Structure 1
């Protein structure tokens, strides 16, 4: 059931009440105040900065619905970088910096050993997106011997490029990094699209054509698979395809973050190429597909909906955060591709007002839910808060906070060889056997023999 009594009209100056506070989308002070409240409530789920806790980790392990996978924590810290950029509030900057550095693996590529059992290409990508957000916004560097923000993203790229798989489906990357992980047989949009966005943003920031060439290769491969299809004049970007069938079929699920990651990458490529017509057409095609699917006319045509799970109220914790990414990435697209600005801002403004009006739940009376077109739906969590925070903040995007590059004021230092010595195999190479090892083994062997003999005598007696 979709209650229509709570549908909001897409009006430019909509006011939304959040626990007695009024959100005025025409007032930066109002947006800052409401964003501050939502960010605070989101961070009540995080304890990684407390004594004895692990920085960068949300509640887990994921044996129940009350937990969050590693990737979503990385995305959350990115949303706080965006929050700082939109509002100027640096309250969480030290927590963000601590988390982004603590979760770096030994090869500086966001592949910490304790996450290998679940490591997906997309998981790494979201941490890379966050450090790219930091680089593009001149977020304060960690300093000391810590790698720069952009170097961390380059390390992820250098790791992932070794995962390109020509042996199946003519290319692309598998969802999971390691073959022992469930889902290794799949090649999905968010992993390949995430790598595409990563390459496009590195090309934009560094000016290095090598990254742009990789982005073109990845986009062309995806467009040539069943992940992309056109129906009734609209682009459909599906979720995953299976290497067991040589990528001949596709899972027909459409999610906001899949459209968002492809949109973001295409927008960066458009800007990097100086307004190339091919990339402009791709941006417009992806946007049209997103508008068609995620802004249904029954909610006024401008309010975002995760239609695959919201109506049935069965979104999981991952899916409850997806609209955050499309919101942020649409906003950046509006700046990088100016021809999209008006249509994008109309949808972000209406969605922001709708998101705010339903943040009335929980024990504090202001927690946000998933369904922006209705009253609070009884759900709450990191994803729900992040979604509302992101879409409200996105309405303030402007040219003054456009993503920086190394040539337009970006201060994060590039390291194209970052993490290049990383091993994509989880197997540890054994150390050479020494004389001491052999001596120790000999002693253990003698002891084992005596234990066997002694045990036999005891059993006979």
Structure 2
């Protein structure tokens, strides 16, 4: 029987072919997206007995679920397809937590600032796309995002390294003494988007403060026209020693945050940063114009989290191209080439399910590389969606509403209900949750991150979530 099963899977693999996509046809792209999203949902167990709404199967972490649902908001919007709408809606609301701040009780002992940040980004995506609003009288997508930002601001740590967010929210988790770019990048990115959506300059002030802190400690380093964005730094070193790994998603968070700020303020400083980041991005993360994760992809050492970073990167590059027309002619060809590479990789078979058209990691290879998983599917989904986002070159007026790809705001038709004070009745450590944490809970949470931090501090491998 084992031989017959293996033979069956091998036969399916032989039958699988790359996804044939006409990158100029919305219908063709959306058809391909249907196939790729089916692969994403194959890792979801929220609708299965014993599953948790909004969460994906082990070993995929909670932050990645936030990335997935944010991406699906865009799939529903750009393909005008409600197939995945109810799953996405239920997930975003179920995981918001009792205090509507995306610190749900099922994550509260192990959640990091970056985890919360990616769920806030998903809610912001819903606000900007006029995704089906929550019931009136409950927190809207905008209010949920504002609560995430306000609770992050409450945890801004001026006592060590003159500012910055720590990686972890809770003191008992290893990594609490690590200040990383992704956590601070989420706060920068969300503040920039809220500034543009609400026209509230307080968010500009916070985005600027985060950017300046990243520059001051050296997590963003500028030398001539080269921008280097590093992973993180330790409080023990007084934030003087950098973990110098560079990841696509950190660059994506920063360049798109700058794009939102430039779109809203017109301040040329943000355009300068966009241009510098884009020059480095084009040089460091594209091979023959095809996107790749330089730090781990060529060596085949990317872990589950790192295999999904290109999904975040793809979405934020397309946002930048739409918000800042000066970048479009550089970014669109990179998206096109990367989408073609991604579709060539989607010719595998998932050995656990027998599902064909499974997508691989290495888009530069031109074929399936034998490595499938949730991150690979999300990355393929986001690069296809990026084709739709950037289907038409925007006008020089980056706030124009003539293109459906331009994110909405309060002044251009956004309908999401906000609350500028959401999350402000928080405490610094627990961020609104009145939790009873037992010693057992603390020990269990510590186990989740001990190995990860040990790898970074002792072995010189990558900092993971």
Q: Give the structure-2-normalised TM-score.
A: 0.84
Counterpart of 1:138 (choices 124, 127, 130) is 130
List gaps (5 residues or longer) in structure 1.
Answer: 1-16, 61-66, 431-461
Aligned to 2:188: 196
Equivalent-residue separation in structure 2 for 1:388 and 1:357 (angstroms)? 10
- Map of 1:393 onto structure 2: 385
Give how far 1:109 is off.
0.5
> Aligned pairs, how many?
403
Match of 1:343 in 2: 330
Aligned with residue 379 of structure 1, among 359, 371, 382: 371
Match of 1:414 in 2: 418
1:331 pairs with 315, 318, 325, which one?
A: 318
Query: Paired residue for 1:85?
Result: 77
1:382-461 to structure 2, matched below 5 A, reads: 382-397=374-389, 398=392, 399-426=403-430, 428=434
CA contact (8 A) 2:44 2:57 kept: yes
Determine if the alignment matches structure 1 residue 295 to structure 2 residue 286: yes
1:99 paired residue number:
91
**C-alpha offsets along residues 177-222 of structure 1, whole Å, 9 cap, x if unaligned?**
1111111111100000110001111111111111111111111111
Distance 1:429 1:23 in 2: 50
**1:358 aligned to 330, 333, 345, which one?**
345
TM-aligned CA distance change 1:21 to 1:281, over 3 Å: closer
Give the CA deviation at 1:230: 3.2
State the partner residue of 1:56. 54
Identify the residue that residue 443 of structure 1 maps to in structure 2: none
> 2-side partners of 1:118 and 1:55: how far apart?
18
Shift of 1:161: 0.5
For the 8 Å contact 1:234–1:292, the answer to whether it is kept is no
Deviations 1:67-115 (A, max 9, x none): 1111111110011011112211111110111011111122210011221
Report the structure number with the largest CA radius of gyration. Answer: 1
Distance, in Å, in 1 between the alignment partners of 2:180 and 2:311 is 20
TM-score (norm. length: structure 1): 0.85
2:217 equivalent among 210, 213, 225: 225
In structure 2, how many angstroms separate the alpha carbons of the residues matched to 1:224 and 1:214?
Answer: 15
Separation in structure 1 between the aligned mates of residue 297 and residue 409 of structure 2, nearest angstrom:
37
Cα offset, 1:429, TM superposition: 8.2
1:279 maps to 270
Contact 1:334/1:344 (CA < 8 Å) preserved in 2? yes
Query: How far 1:345 sits from its partner (Å)?
Result: 0.1
State which of 105, 120, 127 in structure 2 corresponds to 1:113.
105
TM-aligned CA distance change 1:422 to 1:58, over 3 Å:
same
Separation of aligned partners in 2, 1:71 and 1:161:
19
* Cα distance change, pair 144–311 in 1 and its aligned pair in 2 (3 A): same
* Alignment match, 2:7: none
Name whichever of 51-60 and 309-318 sits farther off: 51-60
Instruction: Give 1:231 shift.
Output: 4.7
Shift in Å, 1:423 = 2.8
Q: Secondary structure in 2 aligned to 1:241?
A: strand
Which segments of 5 or more consecutive residues in structure 2 lack a partner in the other structure?
1-14, 393-402, 437-465
Contact 1:18/1:357 (8 A) holds in 2: no
- Report if the CA contact (8 A) 2:20-2:343 is conserved: no
Per the alignment, do residues 18 and 401 of structure 1 end up closer, same or farther by CA in structure 2, a change over 3 Å counting? farther
Structure 2: distance between partners of 1:364 and 1:276 = 49
Partner of 1:401, secondary structure, is coil
